[in-house]
Amino acid sequence: MNIKLYSVFIILLIVSKSLYSDDKIKQNTINWLLDRDHIQKPRGGNTEGLPTEIDLSVSEYFTKLQNSTNKKDKDRYAILSMIGEYRANFEFTEMYGAPTDYSLDTPYKSWGTEIVLPIINTENTISLQHILVMYMQNKDNEVQGPYVQKHWRQDWTYEDKNILTFKGDKKWMNETNQDFNETWSQAVYQVDDSPRYESYGVWKHEKGVSRWISELTPRPLPRREFSVRNDYNLINAINKISVMKWGWVMEEINDKIQTPNIYIGSEYGLARYQKINNYNFQPAYDYWNETKEYWGLVRKEWDKIINNNSKVCLKNKVNKSPLYLYKFSYAEDYKINKNKEESHKNINDIINKFIEKEC
């Protein structure tokens, strides 16, 4: 290499090194991992809340997971390791679309503080309930709250022979699972315990992490999408859940489909559940203790409907109101009067009003 070219090479090398910073950032000090803020401001809930403190302790179930040698036990401990108290950050970024001039949607970012607690823990079935509890700070740093909200539910079943498959437009079909050996299904339910989606996959365990990757899963649009989009009505998703000692992460690759087969675009999603402590989650536990019998009646009614029908179809609204408003209203009534007979009648009546008899 001649001296002139060598000098240019050295200058370029120095410049390139100066542009690269090897300063590392600890992952638990930042909120967002996917970013294009410099060109497109995100939408979503970024209200200021109380500061959270990362919990550095390792859960009992994760310790058992690392020490166990039995495959099924490790699977169960991985699922049970999702129990805990968390700050959850949600990021969804549309990556590309089918048309050449496709307009990328605004990225979505939101967060919440929530507990995950066990409802069922048996050899072949684990049910986990999520409950949000939030405290907000206004511009004068005054704390407002707590705001408590029953959130989504996930049910895990070992070697599940039937999968409730979403078909679009609030229709689901029970389909036989032919490849269920050593798999676990994950069924996800709405805040009112109505069905959302279900898939299955195999847990893989390594030192430091356990991963579950779903089969391709048809799913309804989440609220963050159906409230602003009407150009597609189904998501075909692959979910990956990774459980680690500090919490767990759910990654999503979501293809956006207008049924029956029009591809619109794709997004990448990340939900990160970081264990926290010194945070007052007691109102969430109090809410669950006051209403868990009511929600048990709700689950029992849905189980009966799903198990006894090959197809389930739901209306969007009854008397201009969605199902969750009725369910939460009845839950508040139950907190006051504890009348299981009245609650059962209300639950049965309203669910049947939302079911489409012919679809």
What pLDDT band is residue 110 in, cutting at 50, 70 and 90? Answer: very high
Size (the chain), residues: 359
Least confident of 133-137, 250-254, 299-303: 133-137
Residue of 54 and 22 predicted with greater confidence: 54
Does 12 have pLDDT greater than 50?
no
What pLDDT band is residue 157 in, cutting at 50, 70 and 90? Answer: very high
pLDDT at 136: 87
Residues 59/210, Cβ–Cβ less than 8 Å:
no
Does 1 have pLDDT greater than 70?
no
What pLDDT band is residue 33 in, cutting at 50, 70 and 90? Answer: low
Does 23 have pLDDT greater than 90?
no
pLDDT at 46: 63
Residues 135/143, Cβ–Cβ less than 8 Å:
yes
What average pLDDT does the segment 350-355 reach?
A: 96
Least confident of 43-52, 148-157, 248-257, 321-330: 43-52
Residue 238: both structure tokens together: 């692959």
So where are the chain's domains?
30-280
What average pLDDT does the segment 185-206 reach?
A: 97
Q: If we measure between CA atoms, which residue out of 267, 283, 346, 324 comes closest to residue 93?
A: 267
Does 185 have pLDDT greater than 50?
yes
pTM of the model as a whole: 0.90
Q: Which residues contact 223 (CB under 8 A, 6 or more apart)?
A: none
Residues 290/335, Cβ–Cβ less than 8 Å:
yes
What pLDDT band is residue 279 in, cutting at 50, 70 and 90? Answer: very high
pLDDT at 8: 46
What average pLDDT does the segment 262-271 reach?
A: 96
Residue 163: how many other CB atoms lie within 10 Å: 21
